[in-house]
Amino acid sequence: MKTKILTLALFAFLFANETNAQDVTTVNAKNSDISDNLDLRAVASIFGDSENLQDFERRLNDPKNQISNLDLNYDRQVDYLRVIESVERNTHLIILQAVLEKDVFQDVATIEVERDNNNNVQVQVVGDVYMYGSNYIYEPVYVTRPVIFGVFWVNAYRPYYSPYYWNYYPGYYYGWAPYPVYRYRNHIHVHIHEHNTYNYVNVRRSERAVAMHSTRRANGYERQHPNESFTRRNNNISNRHELVQTRNAEGTRTNTGVRNSNAATATRNNSTATTRTNTTRNNSNVAPTRAESGNVRGTGATRSTQVRTETKSVKAKDAAPTRSQTVRTSTPTRNAAVRPAASTRNNSSSQRVMSERVNSNRNATPPAVRSSSPTVQPQRSTPARSQNATPQRTQRVESSSPRNNGGSTRGGSRG
């Protein structure tokens, strides 16, 4: 039985491990999109903390921050992101471009800043259509007004254009190996200002910014890989926001399936544990019975040995009445071992009465009886004796004394 229980527990353990392994494989297979390597909320966050666009470019490429994880040219180093700006009236279009090769750039995202007639500034961070799909937009709402807003509308403002290009980078910059996607996700959350709000929208507010970007867009990576656009990488999904929602929905389904499988495994383990408990209880109930039966058997063998010894001794001295007395006295004792121990006190008191009566008649007892009396005394340590056996023993002892001393007793009564 124990072998079967251990076998069932082993199968349940292996089934649980197989289920978890399948779940991990399913999740890891979905983390392969290019858009996973640059979080636009982090871009919006450091933009609000920057003093100007030069400071923004430094924060964007600082190896200590590692905001970007893009490696579009597959050289095992994160691509440098340069910042260029275009201005028309109250609209500032800020373009983030990955430097891939000499004179080869790829737009990654744009930041569109526009001020209305009431001096209200609207900011939208827009992902490139090739990288993130169509209309993937975040509108940051900053807790405090960014300092960079005051720079954009000063007199004689000159648009910023990054001086860096392929193999010519600032002194603080050096290339670093990209993270695995799951590690980048855990890392980038540290650089997203938690007090700001990042609202997702799917409509671009500035028509002027759209027109400005259409004439300045760089798509070097797109030309090299025309079949790897977002819509080609993800069938029936319009942009990254919808992709994330689809992943979350599938992850919920997977987790639900894992929970159900874990529940089934727990049920099996509980049933196995219950079986073990029941088996232990049954064994605990059976074990005392075997022990008691062994004790009974052992007691019976001891008593039969005593009976045989007494019989031999009586045969040697030719005491027939004593032989029958000894056999009759020891016979009820066998049955008394199985009976309850509650009557032990009554039996002990009856034994004392019997011993006193026997001691009172020792002078009239033949030598054969005296030799058998020590054999009767060790029976006091035997298990309980019933109340029904005691009166019979007393009567038999009393009845045996007149037989041995018949003359003296009768003479005493006559006198």
CA distance 108 to 40: 10
Q: What is the CA radius of gyration of the chain?
A: 51
pLDDT tens digit sequence for 197-245: 999 999 999 999 999 999 999 999 999 999 999 999 998 999 999 999 9
Task: List the beta bridge partners of residue 198.
Answer: 140
**Residue 337 near residue 379 (C-beta atoms within 8 A):** no
**Residue 81 near residue 68 (C-beta atoms within 8 A):** yes
pLDDT-derived band of residue 7, with 50, 70 and 90 as boundaries? confident
pLDDT score for 250:
80
Task: List the beta bridge partners of residue 168.
Answer: 165
Task: Locate the DSSP E strands across 3-103.
Answer: 80-88, 91-101
pLDDT-derived band of residue 58, with 50, 70 and 90 as boundaries? very high
pLDDT-derived band of residue 76, with 50, 70 and 90 as boundaries? very high
Write out 259-300 in H/E/C secondary structure.
Answer: HHHHHHHHHHHHHHHHHHHHHHHHHHHHHHHHHHHHHHHHHH
Lowest mean pLDDT among 24-33, 226-235, 322-331: 322-331
CA distance 201 to 126: 10
CA distance 391 to 7: 60
| Residue 29, burial from CB neighbour count under 10 angstroms (0-12, 13-18, 19+) | exposed
CB contact burial 204-218 (16+ within 10 A = b; e otherwise) = eebeebeebbeeebb
Instruction: Tell me which of 261 and 328 has the higher pLDDT.
Output: 261
Lowest mean pLDDT among 58-72, 180-194, 380-394: 380-394
Given a cut of 80, whether residue 277 has pLDDT beyond it is no
Mean pLDDT confidence for 63-92: 96
Question: In whole numbers, what is the pLDDT of the chain averaged over residues?
Answer: 71
pLDDT score for 217:
95
pLDDT score for 8:
75
**Residue 115 near residue 230 (C-beta atoms within 8 A):** no
Mean pLDDT confidence for 252-281: 52
CA distance 370 to 359: 10
Given a cut of 60, whether residue 144 has pLDDT beyond it is yes
Backbone angles phi, psi at 91, to 5 degrees: -115, 130
Residue among 280, 365, 321, 233 at smallest CA distance from 5: 280
Given a cut of 90, whether residue 274 has pLDDT beyond it is no
Task: List the beta bridge partners of residue 87.
Answer: 92
- Residues belonging to the chain: 415
CA distance 397 to 389: 13
Query: How far, in whole angstroms, is CA 290 from its chain's centroid?
Result: 41
Residue among 208, 91, 103 at smallest CA distance from 159: 91
pLDDT-derived band of residue 160, with 50, 70 and 90 as boundaries? very high
Instruction: Tell me which of 253 and 91 has the higher pLDDT.
Output: 91
**Coil/strand/helix, residue 101:** strand
Given a cut of 50, whether residue 309 has pLDDT beyond it is no
Lowest mean pLDDT among 45-49, 50-54, 289-293: 289-293
Backbone angles phi, psi at 118, to 5 degrees: -95, 15
CA distance 398 to 379: 19
Q: Crossing angle for the helix pair 367-376 and 240-317, nearest 10 degrees?
A: 170
pLDDT score for 6:
72
| 45: DSSP letter | H
pLDDT-derived band of residue 251, with 50, 70 and 90 as boundaries? confident
pLDDT score for 358:
42
pLDDT-derived band of residue 40, with 50, 70 and 90 as boundaries? very high
Given a cut of 70, whether residue 267 has pLDDT beyond it is no
Other beta carbons within 10 Å of 17: 11
pLDDT tens digit sequence for 97-140: 999 999 999 999 999 999 998 889 999 999 999 999 999 999 99
In Å, what is the CA distance from 22 to each residue of 17, 104, 255? 9, 41, 11
pLDDT-derived band of residue 303, with 50, 70 and 90 as boundaries? very low
- How is 119-182 classified by DSSP, letter by letter? S-EEEEEEE-HHHHBTT-EEEEE-SS--THHHHHTSTT----B---BTTB--TT----PPPPHH
Q: List Cβ neighbours of 99 (8 Å cut-off, separation of 6 or more).
A: 79, 80, 81, 82, 105, 164, 165, 166
pLDDT tens digit sequence for 341-386: 444 444 444 455 455 554 444 544 444 434 434 444 444 444 444 3
pLDDT score for 9:
72
**Residue 329 near residue 393 (C-beta atoms within 8 A):** yes
CA distance 349 to 28: 84
pLDDT score for 176:
96
pLDDT score for 290:
39
pLDDT score for 269:
54
In Å, what is the CA distance from 278 to each residue of 5, 10, 283? 12, 19, 8
Which among 147-161, 257-271, 297-311 has the top mean pLDDT? 147-161
Mean pLDDT confidence for 7-14: 70
pLDDT score for 354:
55
Question: What's the angle, vertex CA 219, arms to CA 127 and CA 227, rounded to 5?
Answer: 90
Mean pLDDT confidence for 91-102: 97
pLDDT tens digit sequence for 385-409: 434 434 444 344 343 333 444 443 3
Given a cut of 90, whether residue 142 has pLDDT beyond it is yes
Task: List the beta bridge partners of residue 185.
Answer: none
pLDDT score for 310:
42
